[in-house]
Structure 1
Amino acid sequence: MLDLLLSPLFVLRTWLLLPALAPAPAAAPRPVVMSAPDPKPELLAWSATRRLTWADFKARPMTGDPLHALTTANIGAQIGCQDYVFSAKVQATFTPTESWVKAPHTASEALLHHEQIHFDLTEVHARLLRQKLTTLKFNCDQLQPAFNNVMKVAISNWQREQQRYDGETNHGLNLVKQKAWDDQIQQRLTTLQAYAAPEPTAATATSTGQ
């Protein structure tokens, strides 16, 4: 089962050259209240060589949930314009602290494989988004609304196919359907290899959320 992490869907970063503004009048000093920032979740970047293990599922299982495992994955995008030239970085990630498995010491390899394919399917849609972005030209003065529309379509397609995967495989219990999905996901990853992100290094494979 997959939990589609949709908040935030992406981080929007823009670098636009703006005219210098006159400094605002100095305001009266106000007391500063210090508060600890919310900790950012640990994220695992998708990797063709570093596969998920049950040790990556660190959250506490939801009481009463009939599912045996839950994968929380996300498609994140950092976009920007520098000197009015658009750039984007799209990444498929897994969130260990929001993913869980019941009784990991008895969880099966078949179930872990089913969860891995959820993550692989997320990478397929990340590559489709990277491919789409290479065909578009954005007006940097109106970057956010234009990119929001592209992202909404990409996320909707991703959600719909993740739900279809769980439905057709019965959460991995239908072995014939599971094998069919395994094969077609691998084929699509191969077809979209030109749009793969660089393989994460040991230093970048694990990061914190934006």
Structure 2
Amino acid sequence: MKLISLFCLFAVHTLFGQKIIWQEDRKLIWDNFKSPVNTKNNPDVAAYTHCGWEYSVVKSSNPRSPVKIEIAAIFNEERSWKDTKKMSDYILLHEQKHFDIAELFARKFRKEVAEKIKTSGDYDKNFKAVYNKISNEYKKYQISYDKITEHGMNKEKQAEYNAIIAEEIDNLKSYKAS
């Protein structure tokens, strides 16, 4: 068997920085945001969470052999930053939800993989389409989350999203990383 390690577009830079793998009982703290640079060049933005997922694949050249795909939601400390003048527990919770959304989509990704990719042949045929579908949905969800919550400033919408994200993660608990 040959080992192929591939990384999601959102996680490629984790090779050069410290990463945190999502865990239910571990929440982000402000010290995790280590980049000194506001990469958005927007003075109104209080923080930026660089997160996504990474995956590894073990497959064979035999199309009938089983394939093993592991997917992890990750947070990149070196590419995440905060404005030290705007830090608050409330903003940190908004940023945590970005990381939780990464976990939500890692679970959706694991579910699609479990349903559609059992063999090396399935991987060769279906993986790119599954990846692109989940990746596009993930990007749209993150953008929508920020837009609807007004980057966390709309407290009512933020509270709604907090509940929705938690419920969606719980609904996919059977696809939690092992």
Aligned partners of 2:124, 2:10: CA distance in 1, in Å? 14
Query: Are 2:47 and 1:69 equivalent residues in the alignment?
Result: yes
Question: What TM-score, normalized by structure 2, do the two folds share?
Answer: 0.84
Task: Give the stretch that moved more between structures: 136-145 or 148-157.
Answer: 136-145
Quote the residue 1:143 is aligned against: 123
Task: Give the stretch that moved more between structures: 129-138 or 94-103.
Answer: 129-138
Quote the residue 2:138 is aligned against: 158
Query: Are 2:22 and 1:46 equivalent residues in the alignment?
Result: yes
Aligned partners of 1:172, 1:196: CA distance in 2, in Å? 26
Aligned partners of 2:23, 2:121: CA distance in 1, in Å? 35
CA contact (8 A) 1:138 1:146 kept: no
Deviation at 1:127, TM superposition (A): 0.4
- CA offsets per residue over residues 158-209 of structure 1, 9 Å max, x none? 00000000000000000000000000111111111111013xxxxxxxxxxx
Aligned partners of 2:26, 2:11: CA distance in 1, in Å? 24
Query: Are 2:68 and 1:87 equivalent residues in the alignment?
Result: yes
Deviation at 1:42, TM superposition (A): 1.3
- Corresponding residue pairs, total: 165
Match of 1:193 among 156, 173, 177: 173
Quote the residue 2:111 is aligned against: 131
Quote the residue 1:97 is aligned against: 78
Specify whether residues 89 and 141 from structure 1 end up closer, same or farther in structure 2 by C-alpha distance, changes over 3 A only: same
Aligned partners of 1:141, 1:121: CA distance in 2, in Å? 30
Match of 1:181 among 161, 173, 176: 161
Task: Give the stretch that moved more between structures: 182-191 or 56-65.
Answer: 56-65
Deviation at 1:80, TM superposition (A): 2.3
Aligned partners of 2:30, 2:83: CA distance in 1, in Å? 10
Deviation at 1:134, TM superposition (A): 1.1
Q: Partner of 2:123: helix, strand, or coil?
A: helix
Quick check: which has more Rg, 1 or 2? 1
Aligned partners of 1:40, 1:65: CA distance in 2, in Å? 25
Structure 1, unaligned runs of 5 or more:
11-38, 199-210
Question: What TM-score, normalized by structure 1, do the two folds share?
Answer: 0.72
Overall identity of the aligned pairs, in %: 25
Q: Partner of 1:135: helix, strand, or coil?
A: helix
Deviation at 1:126, TM superposition (A): 0.4
Aligned partners of 2:87, 2:116: CA distance in 1, in Å? 44
Query: Are 2:9 and 1:7 equivalent residues in the alignment?
Result: yes
Structure 2, unaligned runs of 5 or more:
1-6
The one-letter code sitting in structure 2 at the alignment partner of 1:164 is S
Richer in helix (by share): 2
Aligned partners of 1:141, 1:190: CA distance in 2, in Å? 31
Q: More relative contact order in 1 or in 2 (CA 8 Å, sep 6+)?
A: 1
Aligned partners of 1:141, 1:48: CA distance in 2, in Å? 33
